[in-house]
Structure 1
Amino acid sequence: MKPALKNMTAVVGTDKETDVKRILVVEDERIIAINICSTLKQYGYNATYVSDANDAIEHIENEHFDLVLMDIMLNGPMDGIEIATIIKKTKEIPVIYLTAYSDEATINRAKATEPFGYLIKPFNSRDLYISVEMAIYKSQVQKHIRNVESRLAENQKWETIALVASGISHEVNNPLTSILNLADLITLEAKKTSNPSLGEKAAKIAEESERIAKIIKNLVSYSQSTSSQWNYSNLGSIINDTRSFLHQYFLKEGIQCEVELGDVPLVYCQPQKIKQVLLNLMQDARVRVNTREDTIGRKMTVALKQVEEGGSSHILIQIKDNGAEDLVKGISQMNSLEVTKTIITEHKGKMYRDENSSSWFFTLPIIKPL
């Protein structure tokens, strides 16, 4: 009879700190498993061990782990490589193999699962620590890269959409005008023939056509460069333009985007570049908001006010979201936000992230920067 799960599992260490890495040790020799967990505890990890394939799969499906240390030779119907194959299909968890065997056939099977390491028993605590640290670090780097690529791809998609919209706006607006005129004629005909059903359909056609026209207008407006030159600009207008550009995405995803515009003067800037800053940061806020499991209550706020700093006046822009905590640490160092930082630096401003308020902040000087 198979023992209960709690009898097959031992937890070493605590998880009081959110940055403590959790490691699952899959090892059917209890003494070895306890020894590995104790070693990991000494290095500050939280370690759990299980002794068979079913328990390993159950833990991985129901709990969060940053790394799996997998013994290849396990008692039971599945070995460690087969378990790792299952993990790879459903989870992005790095795996390090533990084995006393290093034959070519075993290594070739293990390679197919793309492990993050391979420790030959017996190994010392230092080798274990280095392998664990390198695997977790490599996994985080790969996640960062995937995140950056995803965000860059989405930004490029929007740029392409805006460019296409600008190029075909004339061709789209012409037939839309004809459709609206025909809808008006149908409405008049419906009134003459006392056909309310026909009138309702005509009104629906007109409503949808106007909605399409508005979408095209917003995309074209955003894609057109307001100016490549420095000038005094209305940040409130730039913020509203950016929100309008993202409106259809917010509507589809159930995100409420509020704008709080204080009484602020014009700012000397490059308007199109500031649009890009707002787009990038609102994009980041949108990603965070969409991590909420519930679709109700998703919200972001863009606030604008004048502040005094270092004896001079600045405009402070806050982009606040109510999303879940970002799972990828060090997001402010990602390449997807490097352009944003560069633009703010060019404008002699500052940019930072405050996780306590779940907000991005950036400042812009009011006067012409020297």
Structure 2
Amino acid sequence: MTAIVENQKETDVKKILVVEDERIIAINICSTLKQYGYHATYVSEANDAIEQIESEHFDLVLMDIMLNGPMDGIEIAARIKRTKEIPVIYLTAYSDEATINRAKTTEPFGYLIKPFNSRDLYISVEMAIYKSQVQKHIRIVESRLAENQKWETIALVASGISHEINNPLTSILNLADLILLEAKKTSNTSLKEKAEKITEESERIAKIVKNLVSYSQSTNSQWTYSNLISILNDTRSFLHQYFLKEGIQCEMEMGDVPHVYCQPQKIKQVLLNLIQDARLRVNTREDSIGRIITISLSLKQEAGKDFVQIQIQDNGSEDLLMGISQMNSLDVTRSIIAEHKGSLRRDEENSSWIFTLPIVNPV
């Protein structure tokens, strides 16, 4: 057994907290767990258990139901369930129906009746940790499926909008052309200007619809080597009409960078969230002139590793409390960037979002 423990990487060793008010029992349980290759520590009171759980990471908690202190083990387990994703196995000498029914409400991963042997303890611990890992994996898969369905819905809606709008829009443009021809024949300047305005606004609507459809076409989460310049241009085009309406100048400074291995649609979502935040910030300026967002793309190197850096800078007049920091999109943004092994930081001095993506060479 010792050889197994010695060959394990420290990062692979599972950490277990034993919450047991009988010191000798707690020591014996920790000793058994260490023989099976776990890192185990124990506490004997409810407050100590809560402090340990809130300050450290544990893969499993072995929880005695009857404890010294203001709370029993079931109350602590209920608190863990609300705030942490840590599986709990109950340890108890009591197996009455009322206790079992209270324990059930916290959805424990096991229930060991004292006294128990080391083999039963090992099997219960292994099964609980394995079940917990499977459940986390299932939640991740379900989250990704939900995200894919969201983008598929957007694509369907965009296609429907395109079909419903483009047909009458074509008729409007044709009628505007006829009015324009008639205005030229009769030298009616006022009518000519109105026809040109109809054509201009109709073409603007057509461009918005086209951008919406184009932006939502990439609905899968496939990893591919992608051109970040194209992704940036697509995202800016998607917001172009808003920038025109609000008097925002969006400048691009594109360096020569290689393709990046990523999920293009997710990177578009990151860019959209960060540029939208910059848009909110520049709109706090009292003057509508001089609202500028600058997006720069460059190749960087640190610690011998190459990565692409994207900086989104705005000249907003204040640091908006209503910005991305208060929106759920920040969590989504950080999650996507972390999934791509990148980084995100806020440079308040320069009013910039800066995020990086690693460069992975094709195999």
Give the TM bin, normalised by the shorter chain.
0.5 to 0.7
Query: Where does residue 362 of structure 1 map in the other structure?
Result: 355
Identify the match of residue 257 of structure 1 among 213, 226, 250. Answer: 250
Query: Where does residue 281 of structure 2 map in the other structure?
Result: 288
Query: Where does residue 267 of structure 1 map in the other structure?
Result: 260
Q: Structure 1's 290 and 192: CA in aligned 2 closer, same or farther, altered over 3 A?
A: closer
**1:307–1:316 Cα contact (<8 Å) kept:** yes
Query: Where does residue 202 of structure 1 map in the other structure?
Result: 195
Q: Which moved more, 1:189-198 or 1:237-246?
A: 189-198
Identify the match of residue 313 of structure 2 among 301, 317, 320. Answer: 320
**1:166–1:223 Cα contact (<8 Å) kept:** no
Q: Structure 1's 204 and 310: CA in aligned 2 closer, same or farther, altered over 3 A?
A: same
Query: What is the correspondence of 1:1-370 to structure 2 with a 5 Å cutoff?
Result: 164-225=157-218, 227-326=220-319, 328=321, 335-367=328-360
**CA offset at residue 262 of structure 1?**
1.2
Aligned mates of 1:261, 1:196 — CA distance in 2: 44
**CA offset at residue 187 of structure 1?**
2.9
**2:152–2:219 Cα contact (<8 Å) kept:** no
What is the aligned-residue RMSD (CA, Å)? 3.0
Aligned mates of 2:306, 2:172 — CA distance in 1: 51
Aligned mates of 1:362, 1:225 — CA distance in 2: 22
Aligned mates of 1:172, 1:222 — CA distance in 2: 17
Aligned mates of 2:240, 2:152 — CA distance in 1: 15
Query: Where does residue 86 of structure 2 map in the other structure?
Result: none
TM-score by length of 2: 0.53
Q: 3-state DSSP class of the match of 1:201? A: helix
Aligned mates of 1:288, 1:191 — CA distance in 2: 46
Q: Structure 1's 322 and 367: CA in aligned 2 closer, same or farther, altered over 3 A?
A: same
Aligned mates of 1:334, 1:166 — CA distance in 2: 28
What amino acid does structure 2 have at the position aligned with 1:229? Answer: Q
Gaps spanning 5+ residues in structure 2: where?
1-150
**CA offset at residue 194 of structure 1?**
4.5
**CA offset at residue 192 of structure 1?**
4.0
TM-score by length of 1: 0.52
**CA offset at residue 330 of structure 1?**
11
Aligned mates of 1:292, 1:253 — CA distance in 2: 11
CA displacement 1:156-175 (0-9 Å, x = unmatched): xx999886443221121111
Gaps spanning 5+ residues in structure 1: where?
1-157
Q: Structure 1's 291 and 199: CA in aligned 2 closer, same or farther, altered over 3 A?
A: closer
Query: Where does residue 135 of structure 1 map in the other structure?
Result: none
Percent of pairs identical after alignment?
A: 77
Q: Structure 1's 331 and 200: CA in aligned 2 closer, same or farther, altered over 3 A?
A: closer
